[in-house]
Amino acid sequence: MEPEVLVEHDDGLVIVTINRPQQRNAVNRAVSYGVCEAIDELDRRDDLRIGILTGAGGNFCAGMDLKAFLRGEITRVEGRGILGIAMTPPRKPLIAAVEGYALAGGFEAVLACDLVVAASNAQFGLPEVKRGLAAAAGGLLRLPRLLPPRIAMEIGLTGDMIGAERLHQFGMINALTEPGGALDAARALARRILANAPMSVAATKRVMVEQIDWPLSEMWSRQQQITGPILASADAREGAAAFAEKRPAVWTNS
């Protein structure tokens, strides 16, 4: 029997695949903890620099496995939420590669990612209100920050699905692909990021994620604390030298 979470390492890239295609990749306890461990490994290891989260069999994730829920199974990671990323996203960049359905906790996992590549026919939604539940794994918190407030409210209150093309128009999806092409496009996007200096990428993500809560009076000093070491690094000198010498940079992460 195949594992319910597949993990592939590819030259600095980690591809994490939810592997329950017969259940549209619905999340049970094993899936939540399996994805969480793979993403934690991404953050722990210096040789791993970026992750892709996707689903097997033509769907991303249909959310919590309701049958597991009815059995009393805890489908989230304690203190961290669904897949372990709802409340604690990784420090390193994470791309969602979406085919088919990304619903409920599956959509909330997409919202916890930094970038999104989706097939043009992919469908997203927070149907919790149709099941007597609430989208408490980040959907109600993140969606109004990523979409116009009234569109976010419509998605939350109706529980209806919304297509990838419409979300792309609102800027929530980075790139649309033909059906079946999301993972390849996500790999290509990841390679563009992998070409850059690791310390610079990490600092850039940290500032962009954390600044939303910074007081105006402190934002420049807080940014300096994070970006100052970057400007003084060996990689900063290497980047300038590589540009001047018209050659690819060789990063040492120092």
Active site residue 41: no
Backbone angles phi, psi at 57, to 5 degrees: 75, 20
- Would you list the DSSP string of 59-97? -SB--B-HHHHHTT---SBTTTBGGGTSSS--SS-EEEE
d(CA 129, CA 131): 5
Active site residue 2: no
Instruction: Please list the residues that pair with 123 across neighbouring strands.
Output: 101, 163
Distances (CA, A) of 100 to 44, 56, 75, 129: 31, 10, 22, 21
Q: Where do we find the tokens 């604390």?
A: 225
53 by DSSP, 3-state: which? strand
Among 2, 8, 128, 154, the active-site one is: 128
d(CA 127, CA 240): 50
Among 4, 41, 73, 108, the active-site one is: 108
Strands (E) located in 104-212 = 115-119, 123-125, 162-163, 175-177
Residue type, 3: P
- Known catalytic residues? 108, 128
